Structure 1
Amino acid sequence: MVRMTAIVVCAALAGCQAVPGEGPLASAINKDAGRSSADIGRLNAAVFEIVDVDNRSAHLVSDYVSSALKRRFGIGNAGVGRAVIGVGDQLKVTVFEAGSDGLFSTSESKQTSIDIVVQPDGTAAIPYVGTVRFAGRTLEEARKAILAALVSKAVEPDVIIATGDTPSRSVTVSGAVGKSSQVSLNLSGEQITDVIAKAGGATAQPYEAYVTIVRGKRTGTALLKSIIENPSENIYVQPGDQVFVTRDPRTFTLLGAVKGNARVEFGANDLNLLEAVALGGGGNDYTVDTKGYFLFRYEEPEVITGLVGQGRFNELLRKGMKPNRDGRYPIVYRFDMTHPDSLVVGQTFPIKSRDVIYAARHKSVDFSKFLSIIGAPLGIAAQGAGTVSVVGSVGN
């Protein structure tokens, strides 16, 4: 009789939702998905969307992760472009003459080398030539300008210009590298990994080293591992860029009905959804809802529109979905372990740093808790939509 009363009381308590629990049930997460804060009934509640992890969504997310570097940097992968001389550059100008009695030749040598430094006004002085503008010109353009000025003065002259130190064509590399320094760029152009190598290389493993480029008012950050694995994404640096390498071990958080709630380091180049759950010891056989594995993430808007469509994304924005400071939006991926193909799909779904994986408890767990509460020897009053008191020992 008492057990039947417990069932009635539990129903009155809105499915035992009033019973203390570790996080929300799967039904609560599913219910709040795509709803505005007004619909949820809680001021400033976060608006999010739920997407099932299936073969399509797993491949879409995986493909984006492997090809998003240029978009993440927002800088592009342009080549070196037109390499020009700049203020402060050190040059060696060598003038050759055909005769032995010229301005720059003797009986012992038919050439003279002149070391110059480009001045703040962009010019430098050459004997018998005068002031020459170097800044903004390529080496060939500067060579032709000097040669043209010597045609009527020297004996069949020719000119070669070689670069020394080129501070106008340097980038600053600092952080978790062998030696923080200013790296001069060569004329053929250099990429991210080139300048990092010149600074002694990264001191952290590629899968936990992040590279940030500051160019003017724009910044972009990417994992060094992603840059190495995608050569086309190894963008060219430009003069004046600042490159920062930081060690930040990638971690994810595992919560809910699993054998170990913890913040876990990847400890590897890659990590998929199944591996992440396994690192926490897997789900608890007695409490986990196998249909209720959820991954909470702030996702790139391009990924969300690819998953739900532009129309649905716009609808979520109207309902109040907000981005974080990096321009990413909240999304929840739902993973159903009762499907046989989940063991295949889970291997292709990549985990990102700072992901939160939540394993919801089965709804029967709350009912069991409720029975244990009302079955206490001294009796406990359960309050909610209704109230019942059980005093003394409870039998059959």
Structure 2
Amino acid sequence: MRSRYLGEPATRPQFVTRRSVGLLSSAFLALSLAGCVPSNGPLTAEVLGSAANRGAQTYAQRPLTFDAVDVDQEVAAIAAEFWPGDLQSAFGVGSGSVNPTLGVGDTLEITIFEAGPDGLFSTTENRSSTLTVTVQPDGSASIPYVGSFRFNGKTLEGARREIVSRLEGRAVEPDVILTLTENSSRVVSVNGSVGSPSPVPLGLRGDRLMEVLAKAGGPSVPSHDAIVRLTRGGVSREVPLQAILNNPGENIYAQPGDQIFVSARPRMFSVLGSAGRSARLPFETDELNVIEAASLAGGAQISLADPQGYFVFRYEYPSVVEALLGAGRIAQLKQEGMLPDRQGRYPIVYRFDLSDASSYLVGQKFMMRDGDVLYVARHRSADFLKFISLITSSTSFAGQVAAPL
């Protein structure tokens, strides 16, 4: 029996062979592309699955354990109530010095009164004398007819009474007024980005941090970019200035010897995934909610983004995590390998479903924090569209290969 192509032009079998090779190449290329469609990050389900399916992994396969929380009104309220700052927990609020003590370097004005006109400190024209003394390095100062008097460690009233006592029997019914004119022993050092870096004397009633900063000319940088570092007794803590402004508990009383340093450190957040652009962006405002953050990033790429997959990745403070998850869940996560960072914060992911109209209102109550990562997940259909595009381009290439010579 003769072959179908027997007697046909010799070019026919060659054309069929090249076409077959081209189609096979296209098929193999499409199959290989199916497993490597380019993406800009995990899908919504993959993010949530990373938090929910940790039990199937070994610890070695689980480099980071975290949980994911859907943001509603309650979650937004819990997160919004917390202001990052630990001055109060580290140093306590303190109190105004009701009876501050005197110390080395203080300058005092001493006015001594006498009842008679011819006393040690009085004349017929003036019944009093005023002298100024400075407390010396040994803590004392000399007063006529009293001698070396130790001021260091005494209150103004205590020193006044003791001076009167030591003048009795020498002066005529003496009385004393003691005034602190220059406070050099109770000062706070203020440096950095302030109007007038200098030692700031503390008032007799005591000054809080914001009052001390005001005496130093106030911050010279915008409040939302200012960081305040307080060092006391070898312990240092730093907080955003905005945290002190918004949380009165962080505006603690300054103490003699405190060192305050104000630095400019713009708060930043990162945007990744299917947002309008991937970038690291500054807050440029005192407060920035997640809706505003998404807007700064150019919104979402309509053809790629999953409206149910807006995520904020954050290391959250323990008090917030406990309020959100409960002590039992936290204990479970720790057992599974969840570890805090150097500041004691735990990893958590907040999810916003912007396919729900109410999320746009809830999102306005959820404030971004310095270092947050806003991730916009891609929609599943985006992978399919990319895959079809790749198949189309590969088929076009295969068609060129299979074209007759």
Q: 1:287 and 1:142, CA in 2 relative to 1: closer, same or farther beyond 3 A?
A: same
Asked if 1:55 corresponds to 2:73, the answer is yes
Give the whole-Å Cα distance in 1 for the aligned partners of 2:266 and 2:400. 54
* Cα displacement string for residues 167-204 of structure 1 (whole angstroms, at most 9, x for unaligned residues): 22100111111111000011011111211111111111
Partner of 1:334: 351
Q: Does 1:130 align with 2:147?
A: yes
1:293, 1:359 within 8 Å by CA — same for their partners in 2? yes
TM-superposed CA distance for 1:334, in Å, is 1.0
* Alpha-carbon distance, 1:245 to partner: 1.2
- What's the TM-score once normalised by structure 1's chain length? 0.87
Amino acid of the residue matched to residue 72 of structure 2? D
> 1:148 maps to what in 2?
165
In 2, Cα distance between equivalents of 1:153 and 1:141: 20
Distance 2:63 2:131 in 1: 71
Aligned-partner residue type, residue 93 of structure 2: N
Q: Does 1:175 align with 2:192?
A: yes
For residue 148 of structure 1, report the CA deviation from its aligned partner. 1.1
Q: Is the 8 A contact 1:37 1:43 kept in 2?
A: no
Are positions 1:78 and 2:94 aligned together?
yes
CA shift at 1:249, angstroms? 1.7
1:98 corresponds to: 115
Match of 1:46 in 2: 64
1:223 pairs with one of 240, 245, 261? 240
Identity between Structure 1 and Structure 2 (%) = 42
Structure 1: segments with no counterpart, 5+ residues: 381-388
Shift of residue 308, structure 1, vs aligned partner:
0.2
Structure 1 segment 160-171 matched on structure 2, within 5 A: 160-171=177-188
CA contact (8 A) 1:37 1:44 kept: no
Q: Distance in 1 between matches of 2:213 and 2:55?
A: 47
Shift in Å, 1:370: 2.9
Distance 1:136 1:72, change over 3 A: closer
When you count helix as a share of all residues, which structure comes out higher? 2
319, 342, 348: which is aligned to 1:302?
Answer: 319
1:276 to 293, 297, 316: 293
Match of 2:42 among 24, 30, 43: 24
1:199 aligns with 2:216: yes
Out of 82, 107, 116, the position equivalent to 1:64 is: 82
After TM superposition, the score normalised by the length of structure 2 is: 0.85
Question: 1:356 aligned to 2:373?
Answer: yes
C-alpha distance in 2 between matches for 1:188 and 1:213: 20
Q: How far did residue 77 of structure 1 move?
A: 2.1
CA deviations over 1:143-176 (Å, ceiling 9, x no partner): 1111111112111111111112222210011111
1:311 and 2:328 matched: yes
SS in 2 for 1:168: coil
Distance 2:72 2:400 in 1: 51
Q: What RMSD in Å do the two structures reach over aligned CA positions?
A: 3.0
Is contact 2:113-2:127 (8 Å) kept? yes
Cα offset, 1:44, TM superposition: 6.5
Q: Decide which of 270, 279, 289 is 2:306's aligned counterpart.
A: 289
Cα 1:75–1:206 shift into 2, 3 Å: same
Spell out, residue by residue over 1:77-106, the C-alpha distance to the aligned partner (whole angstroms, 9 max, x if none): 222134111222222222111112212222
Mean Cα deviation higher: 154-163 or 74-83: 74-83
Q: Assess, with a 3 A threshold, how the Cα gap between structure 1 residues 147 and 43 changes in structure 2: closer, same or farther.
A: farther
Aligned residue identity for 1:27: A
Unaligned runs of 5+ in 2: 1-22
Contact 2:102/2:153, CA 8 A, preserved across alignment: yes
Matched to 1:268, the amino acid is T
Q: Which has the larger radius of gyration?
A: 2
Whether the aligned pair in 1 keeps the contact of 2:48 and 2:68 (CA below 8 Å) is: yes
Report the Cα distance in structure 1 between the residues aligned to 2:250 and 2:306, rounded to whole angstroms.
41
> Secondary structure of the residue that 1:360 maps to in structure 2?
strand
Distance in 2 of aligned mates of 1:40 and 1:54: 32
Equivalent position of 2:20 in the other structure: none
Confirm or deny: 8 A CA contact 2:104 2:138 kept in the other structure: yes
**CA distance 1:152–1:23, change in 2 (3 Å):** same
- 1:391 is displaced (CA, Å) by 9.7
| Corresponding residue SS for 1:24 | coil
CA apart distance, 1:296? 0.8
Q: Distance in 1 between matches of 2:121 and 2:204?
A: 28
Counterpart residue identity of residue 387, structure 2: F
Is contact 2:59–2:336 with CA below 8 Å preserved after alignment? no
Shift in CA distance, 151/267, structure 1 to aligned 2, threshold 3 Å: same
Shift of 1:110: 2.1
Contact 1:377 / 1:392 at 8 angstroms: preserved in 2? no
Deviation at 1:40, TM superposition (A): 6.1
Q: How many residues are aligned here?
A: 379
- How many angstroms apart in 1 are the aligned matches of 2:386 and 2:317? 40
Q: Is the 8 A contact 1:94 1:113 kept in 2?
A: yes
CA contact (8 A) 1:86 1:118 kept: yes
Q: Which moved more, 1:47-56 or 1:366-375?
A: 366-375
Deviation at 1:390, TM superposition (A): 10
**1:272–1:130: structure 2 CA closer, same or farther, 3 Å change rule?**
same
Deviations 1:97-124 (A, max 9, x none): 1112212222332222232222333222
Letter in 1 for 2:114: E
Residue 206 of structure 1 aligns to which amino acid in structure 2?
S
CA deviation after TM superposition for structure 1 residue 38, in Å: 8.6
Residues 217 and 321 of structure 1: is their aligned pair in 2 closer, same or farther, counting only changes over 3 Å? farther
